[in-house]
Structure 1
Amino acid sequence: MRFHHADGTVVHLAYCTNVHAAESLDGVIAQLGRYAGPIRRRLGVPRLGVGLWLARDVASALVGDRSRTLRLRRALDDHGLEVVTFNGFPYRGFHSEVVKHAVYHPDWTTRERLRHTLDLARILAGLLPDDVHAASISTLPLAWRTPWTPAAAASVARNLEQLNKGLTDLAAETGRSIRVAFEPEPGCVVESTDQAVRHLTDTGDHLGVCLDACHLAVGFEEPASAVAKLAAADLQIFKLQASCALHVENPRDPAARRALARFAEPRFLHQTREGDHAVGTDDLDLALEGELPGEHSWRVHFHVPLHASPPPPLSATTDTLMDAFTALFGGPRALTHHVEVETYTWEVLPHAGRDLVEGIAAELAWTRDRLVGLGLKEEDVT
């Protein structure tokens, strides 16, 4: 789905396929037919964007093999789909029984992460629509916060230098600019906008930031302030991940704690913060066990559907997402080109079992309505 901002910018809306458990090329192609194509038809649009997640094994199968890349591109075309962004955060095993901290490995201290991201960039350059010349890959915020040593920081600096060089060379070779967007997340080396400015400023023209609205909310950050800080540091926002966190106003309320306990599941990490980001814990079950005092409201890193808040006494941080839309698209210029709906938690929601096609289509329709409400014009492309 494409939209036009008043400044002439084309804004691409997609949903992220890391919600689907596919770690082979055949599996990725099958999910396009099972989910993405039906979502497009349910929305009644001629073209739908997908933010592809390609696990390491899929990337290995595609990179350097033009015939396989063409096979994937034909499958996208057959279902009326297009790709202008990848989610390069998870490396593999994102739908394992337990993921937790494993999602941060390999991190940006390693050559494996550098090689994987450059492979994704080459693959993405081969999948872009003919009329698109700039794309994005979101990635992890350098590493989990521990251990973080001077040696680790030096390794990251070397890898980011090589990353920017590789992307520059790829642009010269292909005419396609692939930008890598580091995604601040609670608990990581780059957790906040301030840390993004500290660690990512002056790392290269092809390197920037992916703002995740759920992560901003968990950190009690105001989107307008975050966007202003990044602009002041000349750090570009290459992608917005449209997402909502869990919010509970009174975590000492027994009913609220019972409701929250239903979201304490074993697959993903659910960092929880209290109040103004001053205190936090690395998972929801730890917060419920007493690691947070509960004197102020909590926000939980659990991506909940955009269009349907959880029942009271829980709520979603929808206001933060709306403020992010306004900060990025409500002014005279569009401040990013890519919006990716990223609710990867459908399978582990307390009401798991809901129709995935229906749910993702509803999220995209909700997002479309908010963008149009800010004055963007949906493009009718046949």
Structure 2
Amino acid sequence: MKTQFGHITYCTNIHPGESWAHHFVELKTHLPILKKELSPKEPMGIGLRLSNEASLALAKENNLIEFQNWLEEESFYVIAINGFPYGGFHEEAVKEDVYRPDWVTKERFEYTNRLFSLLKVLLPEKGEGGVSTPPLSYSFFDTEEKERFLRKANCTEQIIQTLINLIRIQREEGKTLHLDIEPEPDGLLGTFSDWMRWYEWDLIPKALPVLIQEFGFDPKTAEENIKQHIRLCLDVCHLAVTYETNSFLFSELKRLGIKVGRIQVSSALKLKFQEPIQEYIHALKPFDEKKYLHQVVSCTKEGETKSYRDLGDALAAGASFGEEWRIHFHVPIFLETYGKFFSTQEELKMVLSEHKKNRITQILEIETYTWNVLPESLQMPIGKSILRELLWLKTFLESNLNELI
């Protein structure tokens, strides 16, 4: 729904359906019910997730027209597309395959640009919207630093070619589309700091001469176009895991004039070990499930951090008294505690408070996709879960509104 704080929505990756036909059934089942509760009289935005398979099907004229007609009849509009998982997001085991194919490949390039072709049709008139995408690749696909360097360079070249396409769309059709690159622990751009270094030291220097030659831009205009179309996907869960939801995040964005394409409204799992430690280890085991990666960053009392590729690796290594763990597990945003554990809701509130003051994006997309792999005691029906999260977000944004006016 459109509010004074931007478009509030949720990502439909929570719903199964690798094929378009299956996913469309899920949308028609859940979205009208939610709209009736949240936005009965006004249009409501959708954060659409399309697999590669679904994008190929939706690109067919009859399917696209059918979907457009449904959007109009039900008073929905598409404001963003999640292009991170290429396919198989609801398979039995996803893990690092969520990064495949990465930005080195022709498949990732073609898939992402197809999503933009769909988004430019589905966006409202004079609208702007984004496609989210992985942090180039997964750092453990390579064992040597020189291999990672080469992979990053090749990924960057394909990002620049996508940038060229986005500039052409804006010049020809007047719609502003942006690629929202999402740092994630152990990604090739695994932290916000990695993302900013790449943007400032790799992307801009490499893209400037290409845009100058392609469009005849002067350097200032070329840089403005880079910043218009290549943006940060600020997943709060990810940046909380890496301890980066702090004032530095916003000061760096302001320093370089880099835009936030969307805030992915999300919370991670957080805990601090007390005695007896084994009780915490035992309570964590139900979260160590086989479908998704759950990277862990631990922090000692002295402030030293250590990263683990998955929760199982961290559990095998054990923990010490007072050590804090932050776990890449997208837990419901409306809960602050989970028995012995906490969420990073405090960090989420900080980001949302900054947004309330400065309107750092037009898209706020809830991204809790792990309902079906949560421990059984925390699960609830999907429809009620989504509604509760959207209501929590809307209520938080509207709280103390008079102080902001």
Q: State if a TM-score over 0.5 links the two structures.
A: yes
> Does structure 1 residue 244 correspond to structure 2 residue 267?
yes
Q: Which residue pairs with 1:123 in the alignment?
A: 118
3-state secondary structure, aligned to 1:84: strand
Shift of 1:62: 2.6
Task: Provide the aligned length of Structure 1 versus Structure 2.
Answer: 368
1:96-245 aligned within 5 A: 96-130=91-125, 132-146=126-140, 147=142, 148-201=147-200, 202=204, 204-205=226-227, 206-245=229-268
Question: Whole-Å Cα distance in 2 between the matches of residues 218 and 336 of structure 1?
Answer: 22
1:297-322 Cα offsets, whole Å, 9 max, x none, are 10100001111244321111100000
Aligned to 2:324: 297
Q: How does 1:310-349 map to 2 (within 5 A)?
A: 310-330=337-357, 333-349=358-374
| C-alpha spacing 1:100/1:277, structure 2 compared with 1 (3 Å) | farther
Instruction: Indicate if the aligned counterparts of 1:326 and 1:374 stay in contact, CA closer than 8 A.
Output: no
Q: Which whole-Å CA distance do the structure 1 matches of 2:304 and 2:368 have between them? A: 23
- How far the C-alpha of 1:292 sits from its partner, in A, is 5.5
Distance in 2 of aligned mates of 1:300 and 1:359: 21
Is residue 371 from structure 1 mapped to residue 397 from structure 2 by the alignment? Answer: yes
Output the CA distance in 2 between the equivalents of 1:122 and 1:26. 19
- The letter of the residue matching 1:355 is P
Deviation at 1:329, TM superposition (A): 2.4
Task: Name the CA distance, whole Å, in 2 between partners of 1:288 and 1:376.
Answer: 46
Deviation string 1:11-53 (CA, Å, 9 cap, x unpaired) is 1011000011112221122111211221222335433322100
Q: Who is 2:383 aligned against? A: 357
Partner of residue 256 from structure 1, selected from 280, 300, 323: 280
Amino acid across the alignment from 2:4: H
Bigger helix fraction: 2
Q: Which of structure 1's runs of 4+ aligned residues deviate more than 4 A?
A: 291-295
**CA spacing shift, 1:294–1:167, aligned 2, 3 Å:** farther
Tell me: CA distance 1:150–1:215, structure 2 relative to 1, closer, same or farther (3 Å).
closer
Structure with the greater alpha carbon radius of gyration: 2
How far residue 198 of structure 1 moved from its aligned partner, in angstroms, is 0.9
1:114-157 Cα distance to aligned partner (Å, 9 max, x none):
11111101101111123x42101111111111314332122112
Q: What is residue 55 of structure 1 aligned with on the other side?
A: 51
Show the counterpart of 1:380.
Answer: none
Is the contact between residue 238 and residue 338 of structure 1 (CA under 8 Å) also seen in structure 2? yes
1:191 Cα deviation from its structure 2 partner = 1.5
Q: CA deviation at 1:68?
A: 2.0
Q: CA RMSD in A?
A: 2.0
Structure 2 portions without partners, runs of 5+: 208-225
The alpha-carbon deviation at position 254 of structure 1 amounts to 2.5
CA–CA separation in structure 2 for the residues paired with 1:118 and 1:170: 11
Partner Cα separation in structure 2 for residue 292 and residue 170 of structure 1: 51
Residue deviations 1:233-273 (CA, integer Å, cap 9, x gap): 22211100000000111166222222211111000000011
Contact 1:51 1:87 in 2 (8 A): yes
One-letter amino acid matched to 1:247: K
* Residue range with higher mean Cα deviation, 223-232 or 133-142: 223-232
Counterpart CA distance in 2 for 1:79 and 1:32 is 11
State the 1:280 CA deviation: 1.2
Question: 1:287 aligns to what?
Answer: 314
Looking at structure 1, the residues matched to 387 and 113 of structure 2 have their Cα atoms a distance apart, in angstroms, of 31
Question: Which of 67-76 and 230-239 deviates more?
Answer: 67-76
**Equivalent in the alignment of 2:219:** none
Identity of matched residues, %: 29
User: 8 Å contact 2:273–2:320 — kept in the other structure?
Assistant: no
Whether contact under 8 Å (2:236, 2:245) holds in the other structure is no
- Measure, in 2, the Cα distance between the counterparts of 1:254 and 1:291: 9
Output the CA distance in 1 between the equivalents of 2:177 and 2:343. 33
Distance 1:374 1:76, change over 3 A: farther
Check whether the contact 1:329–1:374 (CA below 8 A) recurs between aligned residues. no
2:250 and 2:52 map into 1 onto residues whose CA distance is: 32
AA aligned opposite 2:257: D
Q: Does structure 1 retain, via aligned residues, the 8 Å contact 2:335–2:345?
A: no
Say whether 1:25 aligns with 2:32.
Answer: no
Q: Is the 8 A contact 1:19 1:343 kept in 2?
A: yes
Q: Distance in 1 between matches of 2:13 and 2:402?
A: 27
CA contact (8 A) 2:139 2:148 kept: no
Q: Quote the residue 2:31 is aligned against.
A: 36
SS in 2 for 1:28: helix
Q: Residue 136 of structure 2 contacts residue 152 of structure 2 at CA under 8 Å; is this kept in 1?
A: no
Q: Which residue of 1 aligns with 2:65?
A: 70
- Displacement of 1:278 in angstroms is 2.1
Amino acid at match of 1:358: K
CA contact under 8 A between 1:187 and 1:282: conserved in structure 2?
A: yes
Query: Does the 8 Å CA contact 1:223/1:327 hold for their aligned counterparts?
Result: no
TM-aligned CA distance change 1:174 to 1:374, over 3 Å: farther
**2:252 aligns to what SS in structure 1?**
helix
